[in-house]
A and B are shown apart, each in its own frame.
Chain A
Amino acid sequence: MPELKKRMTQSGGIITHNGKPVRSLAFAYCVGSRQSKGENKYCSRTCCMSATHTALLLKEKNRDMKILHLYRDIRTYGKMEILYEKSSKQGDIYLKFEEKEPPVVEVNGDNVSVKMKDYLTQKQEIEFQPDLLVLVTGSVPRSDSTDISSKFKIPIGADKFFNEVHPKLKPVETVINGVLIGGSCQGPKNISESVQSSLSAVSKMMSLIKDHRIQLDPVIARVNADACIWCGKCAEVCEFDAIKQVEYNGKQIAEINPATCKGCGICTPVCPTDALDIKLFSNAEIESMIDGFMSEVKLSDGQKNEEEKPATGKKPITLKRFPEIWTRIANTMQNGHKTIPEIAQELGLDTNTVTWHLMTMNKYYFVESDGMDKKDQYYYYKLKN
């Protein structure tokens, strides 16, 4: 493909091969891309557009040229769909193949013969001899991307492209503050997408510079100076070089650099003396949470009276224990419904306290409302059966 483009620019658009004008030209798409079993699994997204666009340019200068497109799927998204439509309307022939039955190319000296099963013509086997066969190859990351990744600590994907934090929410940020990525180092992109993401990266960069200071993440590691014996294991495992050896009260301990620590927590399990903790997620906190989950749940030892029986439809939530005041409130309603002020008066409590408890009882299906009083001022409540 780049070779064809080069030839086109050199010759002003008219394509010749071995001195003869090219009468028929075939583009073979997805060459070396989208291999379900091979190394390159992804779709490069830009090659279809590039090929259809080239076909339009070719046809402009070479009116009699017949252009074939051997494709698996066409991905000319957005406005580029117009390119596909135009190319189709100018008489280009599109032949579809599947990965399991790719076109077979035979080269006999200067003659190229292509045999393929066209999925759009009932998988009929079709043979043709294009003057020129152009391989439309996908884009791959630069060969030193692994090297760059290790230098800047940028996470790298299985496809060897750099990974952003989140494709939608943080599309140009990496996990390292101040290291931003843009353009096709993240994955195959066309020019406008590359420019957009690069501009986005630049504006992110500007916002860092303009601010004159960096807000640090609160969730980072901390060192218990008394426990630390400086074995150096934490500094070894730290991905971000955030742990350094310092002297403290006459002994060597670890120190966390708050600007580089990402709070990943890899240092905590390797520490032999449990001297490292992640703020807000300390070992003690996590352990007590686990204990809370694991402790035996004691069943309710409160009064088992009729209030606790399940209501129709909804299953009431059984509480382990409920306040003694609930029983008192329930007792006042034994002889019929009551309003909140009436209960308060009977129990000698203030209405706020009664309201608070009654509403909770209401929520857990112990009581239910039973119409308004005569003045239309308060709700009556009664025990739920």
Chain B
Amino acid sequence: MATINFEFADDIKKFGANDFDACFNCGTCTAICDLSDADNSFPRKMIRYTTLGITDEIKTSLDPWLCYYCGDCSTSCPRQADPGNLMMSLRRWLMSKYDWTGLSGLLYRHMSAYIVAFLLIVGGIAGAYLSDVFTQEEWLHYGHIFEMIAIGAIFAVILLPNLVRMWFFTVWKPTKKFNIQHHIKALGELFVHMFTQKRSLDCEKERRDKIWYYEHLLLVFSYLSLLFTTVFLDWFSTESVFVNVFGYVVSGIIFIVTTDFVIRRIRKRNEKSKFSHPSDWFFVIWLLMMGISAFAVRVLIDTNLLENTFAVYLFHLTVLVQWALIIVPFGKWTHFLYRSFAMYFEKVKSFSRPVKKK
């Protein structure tokens, strides 16, 4: 017995959903979807649950994560109800549900919250600089230390509990089973999907836009490499030529690819980049700024100009802190984590499903 939650339809609109009200349940979206199958039939089911506000069903479902937003459903919808965008919004909503702090929900619902958070960090860094707490040397040193601590802390305090919550909602609640063997057996799935988004190829295969996939793949690896070089190889104070050049290359790639993504979002040519929630904009723009500022800082270090243009480093640090404290734990970055874990959980669930004979 489910009850209708009238408020949910309005709430999900704050997460970016727009025209799903128009849906008249023809099911064309599900029929056309390359990824939808008998076990995980979407997006019609999710639209229906959204319309009726049966949030329990959505919360325990992994379906939104199985969608890569190729946009076939939205282009073929006879009512222009935009199911693809709804799935995207549901992912944002799910992230806010997994998040135990509740900050994700606040940030997603109100763009102003985002801006306030960004400004707080800008203010903090500017304040610290103006009050001359650290020397330039110390800034570089503590900046680096901060990164390490932030990554560890965010992961341990926010992301890990959130993943456990996600597991609880999507695996434990519907199945009430815990099979350690299944969890280990499916582990391979997790890593493949975390780094490659392999599944998205199933849905992109029909279309010519494979460039997006490779761009995205490149971006993921570059981002992880940059993270690795700056945090663990200490790019900004290393003497190693290899690390130095590698850092240049990956930050350059990040800059180029994100520029293309920003252009895509401005042009709105394909479904994927037609509707941009503020969080999408923040994600690509901050990534772009991070790439470009990291590049610039290293150039200035190599040319020994950093002392006189220290603002560039501060800018980089601000972007980095905002990225690490806002976008990574509460913003779009978590997609990366939840989606790959969704694949993993889906695989785990599939083991306990009765085998269907073909």
Contacts and interface: CB of A to CB of B under 8 A. Distances in A.
Interface stretch (B46-54, B131-139, B339-347): B46-54
B3 A90 contact: no
A92 B51 CA distance: 9
Contact of B6 (A66, A115, A124, A127): A66
A121 B27 CA distance: 12
B9 A91 contact: yes
A85 B326 CA distance: 40
B19 A126 contact: no
A125 interface: yes
B211 interface: no
A84 B79 CA distance: 12
Interface in B1-42: 1-4, 6, 9-10, 19, 21-25
Interface string A1-29: 00000000000000000000000100000
Contact-size category for A: 20 to 34
A362 to B, nearest CB: 59
Contacts of A93: 4, 51-52
Interface string A51-73: 00000000000000010100000
Contacts of B3: 126-128
Given A118-B52, A121-B54, A89 B1 contact: no
Nearest to A126: B2
Given A120-B48, A121-B54, A128 B4 contact: yes
A133 to B, nearest CB: 14
Contacts of B24: 84, 88, 94
A118 B52 CA distance: 10
Contacts of A118: 52
Contacts of B2: 121, 124-127
Interface in A73-108: 84-85, 88-96
B48 A126 contact: no
A284 to B, nearest CB: 63
A89 B18 CA distance: 10
Q: Which of A94, A120, A128 has the most CB of B within 10 A?
A: A120
A57 B52 CA distance: 22
Interface residues of B, number: 20
Contact of B21 (A88, A121, A124, A126): A88
A278 to B, nearest CB: 55
Given A120-B48, A121-B52, A121-B54, A88 B23 contact: yes
A115 B24 CA distance: 21
A118 B79 CA distance: 21
Contacts of B51: 93
A88 B22 contact: yes
B4 A85 contact: no
Contacts of A88: 21-24, 79
Nearest to B49: A121
A126 B22 contact: no
Q: Which of B2, B19, B23 has the most CB of A within 10 A?
A: B2
Contact of A89 (B21, B45, B48, B49): B21
B22 A120 contact: no
Interface string A121-136: 1101111100000000
A169 B53 CA distance: 50
A84 B22 CA distance: 10
B19 A89 contact: yes
Contacts of A91: 9-10, 21
Q: Which of B3, B6, B22 has the most CB of A within 10 A?
A: B6
A114 to B, nearest CB: 10
A74 to B, nearest CB: 8
Contact of B79 (A85, A96, A128): A85
20 contacts: A24-B6, A68-B4, A85-B22, A85-B79, A88-B21, A88-B23, A89-B19, A89-B22, A92-B21, A94-B24, A94-B25, A96-B25, A115-B1, A120-B25, A121-B45, A122-B45, A124-B54, A126-B1, A126-B2, A126-B3
Interface of A: 24, 66, 68, 84-85, 88-96, 115, 118, 120-122, 124-128
Given A85-B22, A121-B49, 6 more contacts: A91-B10, A91-B21, A94-B25, A118-B52, A120-B25, A126-B1
In the A-B complex, the 6 residue pairs with the smallest Cβ-Cβ separation, listed nearest first, are A66-B6, A128-B4, A120-B25, A89-B22, A121-B48, A91-B21
